[in-house]
Chain A
């Protein structure tokens, strides 16, 4: 990894340089919230945003994506190329970079590579930015507070200047051409350490730090807590829609008006959706909200880890805001805390 330093005032030049060759997507203010959206200038970007309503997942795994088109009259698949736009996700927090890394573990699995995801990922550069935690953030408890890989550049503001961690040659070339780049000094490194410690100390200590979460998930699998949590679920899937790491999808065919042609589409699905576990013949093996909520939490805090050695949940806190009835991993951690774990 290479480290360089640029002045804070050079950030607009960096964004402008990316814009010459890429669509730049960045956090922008919408109402009293923030969303990731394509921008036309640096001035639209709110780089000190706390979080966004939904995650940047939508640029790699769109909520609705055409896989191919077909001619229904001749029963043939027709040529279709998904629009893959060269894009820079600018200003992504460490939790989301870890989230995208989790998606890559799934979709870039060499046994079952997903060409649609891979095409988006290959055309996407990621520029991370260090943040200060908000009240619902618990990335520190999910080992996702630092992005160690899977970014092209990562900017940490160290007082009037950015320490830039460089993760790819492509991004390094853009950086060097656009900005007055200098080597990091001891003073810069000391400022970086101070910034990191300030972040570490700013996490909400009311969110309990629980050891061995996967073990506790197994130990309390049959606890009535899940009925309590699931009993208030609205079955709306807002948690999964805003989540940076929910990646389940459904596939369906849509005919065009007239029914001569159509498209096969991939659309987001979620294990919280009532029919998610319904199989042929109509049997639903997760028929209650409690069984569905529990399943979701297990995948986030137990199941994915067993396979990929990382928590699927990255502690971004979006579901905490999105859920109207206070169902979130934080409630699970508090439950373990009450159990004296």
Chain B
């Protein structure tokens, strides 16, 4: 938003809409998981549209558009372009919206995937299919909430940042550092592959702390050193090809784009 609101301002509550595109809707559902604080969060906004909870149609005017899901059709692309025109701020939430996520895995070979699933041609109900892409490939995005699913408290922090301003800079470091803070040891020392080497920090390395290697859902760090990570993987006796495959789950769009430039 061009002008940040003061929490004290006697003015109308910011109008927020929540738009769901190609996704499992899990991130939207996760927002409802902050039960204890949900009324506080909703109390500061005018929630004009949330398909998940209400069949009231999308209003013509709003201040903040929250978008979940990847753009996979021409209709969806038009929806986000319209949202961009109307909203002061756009927040992309979840891996699908931020990196292309799981739908993005089809981005390299859309025709092949359509054929495998539908045979000759996709039914009309699918709409006018596009290679799946993150919201930021279609419009400018002001803020993002990463991961699959999102941490709802992170969503609240990002929403507050958009509404009132923030002095917090999104991290671009790789995840291993957050893991070292948790002091639970490294999967590579047990011969287990983990994508924390190149995945963007910010989640607190929750999965590794709970005994599960990072699957890269926050997306590649813009400062990731994938070559050095491949060297680590190889040095630990693991297959680099497996590492490359694993990276595709949440980064296929970025990897395809990088290969296209080469």
Contact = CB atoms under 8 A, between A and B. Distances in A.
Contact of B177 (A231, A237, A251, A325): A237
B166 A238 contact: no
B171 interface: yes
B54 interface: no
Interface stretch (A136-144, A162-170, A215-223, A256-264): A256-264
Contacts of B8: 72-75
A166 B256 CA distance: 64
Given A232-B228, A234-B229, A253 B179 contact: no
A85 interface: no
Contact of B174 (A74, A236, A251, A256): A236
Interface of A: 30-33, 35, 52-54, 63, 72-75, 231-238, 240-242, 251-260, 268, 270, 272-275, 278, 289, 322, 324-325
Contacts of A273: 171, 173
B127 interface: no
Contacts of A257: 34, 37, 40-41, 153, 156
Given A236-B175, A236-B177, A257-B37, 19 more contacts: A30-B183, A30-B184, A31-B185, A54-B180, A72-B8, A232-B231, A233-B228, A235-B223, A236-B174, A237-B173, A238-B180, A242-B180, A253-B168, A255-B164, A258-B37, A260-B40, A274-B222, A275-B172, A322-B180
Contacts of B183: 30, 33, 35, 52-54
A108 to B, nearest CB: 24
B181 interface: yes
B79 interface: no
Interface residues of B, number: 48
A73 B164 CA distance: 12
Contacts, number: 125
Contacts of A238: 176-177, 179-180
A325 B236 CA distance: 11
Interface of B: 7-8, 34, 37, 40-41, 43-44, 153, 156-157, 160, 163-164, 166-169, 171-181, 183-186, 188-189, 196-198, 201, 221-225, 228-229, 231-232
A275 B8 CA distance: 32
Contacts of B232: 234, 324-325
